[in-house]
Every structure is written in C-alpha cells, then in structure tokens.
C-alpha cells in the first residue's frame, strides 16, 4: 500500500467512526425534539369594529335588482380563525321601484395570510320598504386587506324567502374601513 492509499483509508475510517454535529444541532435544535410552529397573531385589520359600502346585485326570477348597502360589523381573529358579526342596510332599485332590507349576519372563516380571509356567513334579512318578506341567509366570501385599516371583499348570499315566496341570490363587492 502506498502512502496515498494509507491516508485515504485512514480518513475513511475516521470519517465513519467520528461523531459530529447533526444538521439539527447546527440549527440550534436537539435531535428528537418536536418542531416548533410559529403561530403569529393575525394582522390587526382582522380585529375590531369596521364599516363600509358595497355594490349589490340581487337576482330573483324574473327580476334583477341593483343597489348599495352600508355595513357595520366587528371581527376578532385568533391563531388562524376569524369570527365576527355585522348588520347591513341594503337599498335596491327594482325597475324604478325602491326596496330596502336590513340584514344581520354572523361569519366565521380562516385567515389564510396576513392579507387574505375566506369565510362562511349565515343570518336573517327583513324587508322594510317595498315589501315585508323575511329571508334566511347563507353564503361565503373572500376579503383582502389593502392596508391595516382598509379591506375589499366579494361575497355571495343565498336568501331563502321564509314565507314561501321567491328566493334571492345576492352578489356584492365592497370596501371597508376599520375604526
């Protein structure tokens, strides 16, 4: 055996028998320790009182109505969960006739990132101008934070007329500001 082969063999034996730092130790974790999960507090835009306006389209058979809504609500976010409630006044133009309804909704969702929430919502609505129908509401939406104080959202609501009349499908797009 020449000298190069002896050095190579000695290095191989030392490499196989020596114990060194593992990758986990280099990163400051002990082997076998449980991984840590970083649950960050949600961005402050998801917590507190907010208000906003939305453009609303309501589709019923055979009519389509268009209008605006004003909304006030409150949210609380913890870990990755959002819970909240809101009330809205919705004014609609039905071919020259004005109708209005009040809506009360609860919502629960998932905070996907600091700027994105998807949610489901349920509640009740009552017409107080242009009719006297009551509706059960069920829907979903997505809300995007533009800043710590401003969000934009798109929402769909299915409105089941509780007296057996025509059901509605409502689509809205709006902007909201935290107080």
The overall average pLDDT reported for the chain is 85
Paired strand residues for 26:
none
Domains identified in the chain and CATH numbers: 44-178 (2.40.160.20)
Portion of the chain with pLDDT greater than 90, in percent:
57
Q: State pLDDT tens for residues 82-131.
A: 999 999 999 999 778 898 999 999 999 999 988 999 999 999 999 998 88
Model confidence, pTM? 0.74
How far, CA to CA in Å, does 102 sit from each of 9, 49, 62, 111? 84, 19, 22, 27
CB 154 within 8 A of CB 170: no
H helix intervals, the chain: 3-17, 23-26
């Amino acid at each position: 055996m020449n000298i190069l082969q002896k050095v190579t063999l000695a290095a191989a034996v030392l490499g196989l028998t020596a114990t060194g730092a593992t990758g986990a130790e280099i990163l400051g974790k002990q082997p076998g320790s449980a991984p840590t999960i970083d649950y960050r507090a949600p961005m402050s835009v998801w917590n507190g009182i907010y208000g906003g306006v939305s453009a609303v389209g309501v589709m019923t058979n055979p009519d389509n109505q268009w209008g605006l809504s004003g909304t006030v609500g409150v949210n609380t976010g913890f870990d990755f969960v959002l819970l909240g409630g809101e009330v809205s006044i919705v004014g609609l133009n039905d071919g020259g006739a004005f109708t209005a309804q009040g809506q009360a909704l609860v919502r629960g969702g998932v905070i996907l990132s600091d700027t994105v929430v998807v949610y489901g919502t349920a509640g009740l609505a009552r017409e107080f101008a242009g009719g006297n129908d009551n509706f059960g509401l069920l829907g979903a939406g997505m809300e995007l934070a533009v800043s710590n104080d401003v969000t934009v959202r798109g929402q769909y609501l299915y409105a089941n007329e509780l007296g057996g009349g025509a059901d509605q499908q409502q689509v809205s797009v709006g902007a909201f500001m935290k107080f």
